[in-house]
Structure 1
Amino acid sequence: MAERTLDKTAEAAKAEQTAQAAPAPSREPTVVADDVHIVYRVNGGPKGRGSATAALSRIMRRKGSPGMREVHAVRGVTFVAYKGESIGLIGSNGSGKSTLLKAVAGLLPTERGSVYTDGQPSLLGVNAALMNDLTGERNVILGGLAMGMSREQVRERYQDIVDFSGINEKGDFITLPMRTYSSGMAARLRFSIAAAKDHDVLMIDEALATGDRKFQKRSEARIRELRQEAGTVFLVSHNNKSIRDTCDRVLWLEKGELLMDGPTDEVIKAYEKETGK
């Protein structure tokens, strides 16, 4: 009996050693930001004024203006995002959150450092342009095509997009021009169009801040689906509850610098303690 017990103990110890030696499951990175710096340059005359002709002349001569200012919007930000993560970006106004997302989306060049992405990033913001003179219906079709969906895919998902947005809950608004929509209706339609497609990397800039609680819950549920079906979701929001409900990781930026990167509750508690929000 003692020998059997010793054998079992030895087997258990060996199994434990094997488990410890086994490599941890690898995670698939989707976005790598390596020491990213982004600088805006604002040109103007000595008194802050300047014509387009003068600005073009300075560009052609490769010379700066005496009134040129540099705004260092993002300062040495480094992080790695992985497939299946939902990452919130928090910070005060002007902290560089939206600028960082634009760089990840390839819309802004980096001054120094690099951004690497696996797949095609898609940036959704409440200011994303839809065509006001076209109907909501036409905007759904054009928006879907612009995201790379086929006409058949747009047709298949059209009704789901309309239903998700809630545009027609109080009338047949989808057949009316976008200029007749409230800002909240337009924002809901933008989100619905973007959320209809499975994205490698989806970035949402304040999209959940618009609309009633019913729509916000639908949006949060759809983001969770996107995390399971596709790659990575980034969310910029000043609504800490939306971040808590949606994200499992948070990046906190202030004055362009990454102050904290970690689990949602841990980072938001530190942020609220520091800012009193």
Structure 2
Amino acid sequence: MAKALKEKIAVTGAQPEVVIDPSREPIVVVDGLHIVYRVYSSGGGKGTAATALLRILRRQNRPQMKEVHAVRGVSFIAYRGDAIGVIGTNGSGKSTLLKAIAGLLPPARGAVYTDGQPSLLGVNAALMRDLSGSRNIILGCLAMGLSPEETKKRYDEIVKFADLKPGFIDYPMSTYSSGMGARLRFAIAAARTHDVLLIDEALATGDAKFKRRSKAKIDELRKNAGAVFLVAHNLDVIEETCNRVIWLDEGRIKMDGDPQEVLAAYNEATGK
């Protein structure tokens, strides 16, 4: 697979800023990545979104475009078996980076190369709020490519892992707390092996028992799959789960390395 990824990079004619370790198997190469959001406003004073739209339609004010440079020249390589924590203050580009690796955001410059299919799991991952947890398990598993037989086989395991309140598996997800919804989403996503699993804050809402189960599941995924990326404000989860940490600051990599060293430097810098 390392050869396949190198060939994929070679086809584009890219000259990566990072050097691949020949003794390890790369699964994600992020090369000089820049992500830029373009935000449009009406250019008129305050008001609701509806009044802003009316001003645009009536041409009272021309829309103004503002660029937000969320990720700035990020480069790194993730290897098979890595569990990488991504930390940083709000607005540092953590979630944007995960979305770019998942292929949901196009680079303004640079590139992302992956060996396999990345899967992004976030607390707001789309499940059908009006459907029961049970129906969402079935739809989620089928959407991930599991067969009806595989879905049926994993159903009880997912329900047990999510550890919902009695009876709630048959209730609409709109009745779930944020923690219950996050646990069910993680349980569904973890029901299959992923080439690259990207987890955005999904462990932040669970209790200690759920976090222990999640850590064990991530360890299992690391052994059986490719790599895991984890964004969480709870640094204890990062330290216990990851073998490597990337610290983002204003869209740039501030530090990349051993979890204890990076977390210690981050805590000192942020006063935590």
Q: 1:255 is matched with which residue? A: 250
Q: 1:150 is matched with which residue? A: 147
Contact 1:89–1:97, Cα closer than 8 Å, also in 2: yes
2:113 equivalent among 112, 116, 119: 116
1:40 alignment partner AA:
Y
User: Within 2, Cα distance between the matches of 1:190 and 1:53?
Assistant: 40
Contact 1:47–1:67, Cα closer than 8 Å, also in 2: no
Q: 1:219 is matched with which residue? A: 214
Q: Residues 227-270 of structure 1, C-alpha deviation per residue, up to 9 Å, x if partnerless? A: 01111000001111100100000000011111111111111111
The structure carrying a bigger helix percent of its residues is 1
**Does residue 139 of structure 1 match 2:136?**
yes
Post-superposition offset of 1:53: 10
User: Within 1, Cα distance between the matches of 2:115 and 2:244?
Assistant: 19
Q: 1:105 is matched with which residue? A: 102
Q: Residues 25-47 of structure 1, C-alpha deviation per residue, up to 9 Å, x if partnerless? A: 72111110000000000112222
User: 5+ residue gaps in structure 1?
Assistant: 1-23, 58-64
1:187 alignment partner AA:
A
Q: Give the TM-score normalised by the residue count of structure 2.
A: 0.86
- Give the total of aligned pairs: 244
Contact 2:173–2:181, Cα closer than 8 Å, also in 1: yes
SS in 2 for 1:227: helix
Q: Residues 46-85 of structure 1, C-alpha deviation per residue, up to 9 Å, x if partnerless? A: 2267439959x9xxxxxxx662111000000000000000
Post-superposition offset of 1:211: 1.6
Matches within 5 A, 1:140-219: 140-167=137-164, 170-219=165-214
Q: Give the TM-score normalised by the residue count of structure 1.
A: 0.84
Q: Residues 205-235 of structure 1, C-alpha deviation per residue, up to 9 Å, x if partnerless? A: 0111112111111001100110011110000
Q: 2:28 is matched with which residue? A: 31
Distance 1:109 1:44, change over 3 A: same
Q: 2:17 is matched with which residue? A: none
**Same amino acid, percent of matched pairs:** 64
Post-superposition offset of 1:99: 0.2
SS in 2 for 1:209: coil
Q: Stretches of 4+ moved more than 4 A in 1?
A: 52-55
Q: 2:267 is matched with which residue? A: 272
2:181 alignment partner AA:
A
User: 5+ residue gaps in structure 2?
Assistant: 1-20
Q: 1:51 is matched with which residue? A: 53
Distance 1:66 1:183, change over 3 A: closer
